[in-house]
Structure 1
Amino acid sequence: MKKILMLHGINHNMFGKRDPKQYGTVTLDEINAKLKGLADELGVEIECYHSNHEGEMVERIHQAYQEEKDAVIINAGAWTHYSYGLRDALAILTVPIIEIHMSNIHAREEFRHHSVFAEIAKGQICGFGVESYLLGLRAAVASIEE
């Protein structure tokens, strides 16, 4: 069975409370449940991981390399725009990386328009709320099968 790692970044534990205009009212647990349900339908295994600590996220990416995950989906939150440490860790991986965002980062504040991960990601999905996660999982599975 193919194994996919979903990485949730900084402040995502506050989904459901934080800025409902941008992120809706869905919680991180609800997002993870939807991902697990779709993973079951698609016949893949998904592990969801969240951290508010950049170093812990880097360590989890290193662990993913050792575990030979088949793909990684990442919504790094604000780290997307400046964390070269996370970018360098992700660049170690030899599997498809799918970058996702619930909001349309290109229609928000100027600083959110740039992703330091874009050059190493297979693709980016943004602006579809929770559906961005599900589209990201479908894209990861399709990328594995290519």
Structure 2
Amino acid sequence: MASKLIYVLNGPNLNRLGKREPEIYGSQTLDDIAALLVERGETLGCEIEMRQSNHEGHLVDWLHEAEEEGAHAVLLNAGAYTHTSVALLDAIRSITAPVIEVHLSNPHTREPFRHTSWVGQAAKGTIAGFGAQSYLLALEAAAGL
């Protein structure tokens, strides 16, 4: 059986995980999360393509690429772009691969500006508030699609 290609795209400041506000985002780094995803992906028959950028256009390009490469699904933690990026909303709507929105924290328990998600308006679903476990839960959901 061929493995399912899962793109895991991470937005601005997620390269700072483990250092940036660990009381909100936890102490695990993005590399730690990538290792967990690869390990879980192997048991689920999924190949993980993990990327991070602080630039909105890279995320848009990678969403398009995920479609072109036949990705089974995309896990997207757009960081602050979640709440500001119509470009990401449009990119998600332009592809057929399902996108699952992922957040380490629960945006609805934070500042009011974080309560609106442009990404979520086009995502298949959202998993938030479980720290690094949010990614693993999203991967399980994606594998089952």
Report TM bin, short chain.
over 0.9
SS at 1:35 equivalent = helix
In structure 2, what is the Cα distance between the partners aligned to 1:80 and 1:40? 29
Aligned residues: 143
In structure 2, what is the Cα distance between the partners aligned to 1:30 and 1:56? 22
In structure 1, what is the Cα distance between the partners aligned to 2:65 and 2:76? 15
Segments of 4+ moved more than 3 angstroms: none
Give the Å deviation of 1:46: 1.0
Residue 124 of structure 1 corresponds to 126
In structure 1, what is the Cα distance between the partners aligned to 2:121 and 2:78? 15
In structure 1, what is the Cα distance between the partners aligned to 2:14 and 2:119? 18
In structure 1, what is the Cα distance between the partners aligned to 2:89 and 2:106? 20
Paired residue type of 1:79:
Y
In structure 1, what is the Cα distance between the partners aligned to 2:67 and 2:42? 23
Residue 12 of structure 1 corresponds to 14
Counterpart contact for 1:65–1:92, Cα < 8 Å: no
SS at 1:118 equivalent = helix
2:66 matches 1:73: no
Residue 29 of structure 1 corresponds to 31
Q: 2:41 aligns with which of 39, 44, 51?
A: 39
SS at 1:3 equivalent = strand
2:140 matches 1:138: yes
SS at 2:144 equivalent = helix
Give % identity.
50
In structure 1, what is the Cα distance between the partners aligned to 2:5 and 2:131? 24
In structure 2, what is the Cα distance between the partners aligned to 1:95 and 1:72? 7
Q: 1:82 aligns with which of 81, 84, 94?
A: 84
Give the Å deviation of 1:68: 1.4
SS at 1:95 equivalent = coil
Superposition CA RMSD, Å: 0.8
Paired residue type of 1:61:
L
Gaps of 5+ in 2: none
